[in-house]
Amino acid sequence: MDGNRFLDNLKDDFRRGALAQRDALSVEARADAAKVIAAAPLPVELPPGTIVAGYSPINSELDPFPLMRALADKGATLALPVIIARNHALIFREWQPDEGLVRGPYGIFQPSSDADEVDPDIVLVPLAAFDRAGHRIGYGRGYYDRTLENLRRIKKVTVIGVAFAVQEIETVPRLPHDEQLDCVLTERELIDLRRL
């Protein structure tokens, strides 16, 4: 077995374990965590016109919408990802909390094609597992890694993993194409990796 395949298999094991921890949280605990995170200060400035991309939560993911609404109240422009299946990548379209969403690939809700495409300054990233070095395990399709790599080529962007504290693992196996997080925000703490 080659090294990359070994790491992929290891990631699969960590992913299953972290998702089981996340799934075991009660609905109330998830809602409480989303409220705590929405009230927490972000480690970056939000000058007028800052574009913050969140995500539409699926399964037992932490719901970022309370945080996104709080950021919109502070003047941020919001966006959500749109899956471009043929490229295995994402684009971001502007979105307001009162606007409806349409069901996209994998059943994930996203803005309609009428919404303006934007390049965010801050990206809130869902994940299955994370470590304190800023590495994450997603769902294995690589959408965020490809998208963040492309976005970081064109502008400075702050990437914040949003998760429950129970999703932390000691060390995430890292492959060369894996994009690193700048921060991780959980209901317990903000892990700011930009100073490390």
Lookup: tokens for 113: 């094609």
Lookup: tokens for 117: 């495409």
Is 156 marked within a binding site?
A: no
**Which CATH superfamily does the domain covering 2-41+48-192 fall into?**
NagB/RpiA/CoA transferase-like (3.40.50.10420)
Is 12 marked within a binding site?
A: yes
Token pair 């492959």: residue: 175
Is 106 marked within a binding site?
A: no
Is 142 marked within a binding site?
A: yes
Burial profile 111-150: b = 16 or more Cβ within 10 angstroms, e = fewer: beeebeebebbbbbbbbbbbbeebbbbbeeebbbbbbbee
Is 104 marked within a binding site?
A: no
Residue 73: per-residue pLDDT: 93
Domain ranges (residues) in the chain: 2-41+48-192
pLDDT digits 0-9 by tens, 147-183: 999 999 999 999 999 999 999 999 988 877 789 999 9
Is 136 marked within a binding site?
A: yes
Q: pTM of the prediction?
A: 0.90
- pLDDT above 70 coverage of the chain, percent: 94
Is 55 marked within a binding site?
A: no
Average pLDDT over the chain, rounded to an integer = 90
Band the pLDDT of 1: cuts 50, 70, 90: very low
pLDDT digits 0-9 by tens, 58-97: 999 999 999 999 999 999 999 999 988 777 789 999 999 8
Is 14 marked within a binding site?
A: yes
